[in-house]
Amino acid sequence: MTNVNQWLPLVRRPRRLRRSQAIRDLVRETVLLPNRLVLPQFIMEGDDTAQAIDAMPGRYRMTIDRTIAECKEAMTLGVQSFALFPLVSESLKTNDGRQALNSDNLVCRSIHAIKEACPGACVITDVALDPYSNVGHDGIVSPQGTVLNDETVEVLAKMAVVQAKAGADIVAPSDMMDGRVKAIRAALDESGFVEVGILSYTAKYASSFYGPFRQALESAPVDAPNVPKDKKTYQMDPANSREAIAEAMLDEAEGADMIMVKPGLPYLDIIHLLRSQTTLPIAAYHVSGEYAMVKAAAKLGWLDGEACMRESLVALARAGANVIFTYAALDYARSWRESFA
C-alpha cells in the first residue's frame, strides 16, 4: 500500500482525538452535569392530581404533593434546583396582581412544603405579575393601555419579600421592568433577607417561543380594549444584542447575583456576548417552544428526541451558560445516569 504521507504530509490530524469514545470523553471541552439544571414546575391547587400539558409532552401541571414527589425523584438524579410557576384561579386574578402578595398563596405554600420535604433543594421563585394578572401582563396596565413601570416595581419588591419569607432561596424577576433589581434588593435587605439571591431575567426577549408556557399557566395577554396585544414595550427586541449588555450592566450594578438570557438556543450569541462582559453566573432558559419542537419532531419520527435535547442543552452550556432552566432536566439526568450505569 502506498504511504499516504508521501502525498499528504500532515503534522496535525484532529481526527486522532476523535477515534474512540474514550479519547473523545478525555478531551471533551463542555461537560454538563445534572446539578447545573433547573427544573421548572407548574403548580396547581388540589391533591394528588397531575394534568398533562398538551403542548409540552412529558410535563404536567401538578398539585403540591405531586410536585414534591417529582422534586424527590429529581434530587436522586442530581437535579437539585426547582423554579415554581403557579396556575392561579381566574377568580383571584386582578390587574394589580394582589394575590401575589398573599402570604398563603399557592407559591408560598409550595415553597414551605418543598423546603420541608426536600431540605437540600434550591427553590427559585418567579417575580412577575402575569400569572396573577387578569389581563395577562407582567405589570399593571393603566386605563390607557400602558404597562406601568414604577407602580409595578413597587408591587414586585413586596412580592419578592413575601416569597423570601416563605423560604425561597432565590427570587427571579422575569418582568423586565426598569429598576426592579435595585428595588427588590433593597426590599429584601431591609426585611432581613440579605442572603436571598436575585436571578434577574436580564435579556428576556419578546419571543414567539413562549406559547406552550402561556398555555400551561393560562397567562397570555387577553384580547380586550386598552390591553397591549403583546409584551414588546418591556421585553427586548429579538433584533438587538448590544441592548443586552446595557441591561446586564444595569442589573449587575443594582445587585443581581445571576443574570438570565431567555430564550436559549436562538440567543446563543447573546449568552456568549454576556459571558465576555460579566463575571456573574449566567443562566439560560431552554424555553417551552424549544422543548415542544424537539418533542413534536421526535413523536413524528423525524429525529432522535433524546439526542437532540441533549445536544441542545450542551450547546447552551458551551455558549457560556452556567445554569440551564429546562423542562428536559429529568430526561437529561436519567440519560446521564444510564451512561454511567
- Active-site residues: which are they? 204, 262
Q: Using alpha carbons only, what angle is made at residue 267 by residues 34 and 309, rounded to the nearest 5 degrees?
A: 40
Q: What is the gyration radius of the CA atoms in the chain, in angstroms?
A: 22
What is the C-alpha to C-alpha distance for residues 328 and 325, in angstroms, rounded to an integer? 9
Please return the burial class of 326, using the count of CB atoms within 10 Å of its CB with bins 0-12, 13-18 and 19+.
buried
Decide: helix, strand or coil at residue 193: coil
| Structural contact between residues 3 and 290, judged by C-beta atoms closer than 8 angstroms | no
Closest CA to 33 of 338, 319, 314, 327: 314
3 state SS of 270: helix
What are 50's strand-pairing partners? 62
- Around Cβ 192, how many Cβ atoms within 10 Å? 11
Q: In terms of Cα–Cα distance, which of 319, 179, 326 is closest to 256?
A: 179
Q: Report the 10 Å Cβ neighbour count for 113.
A: 18
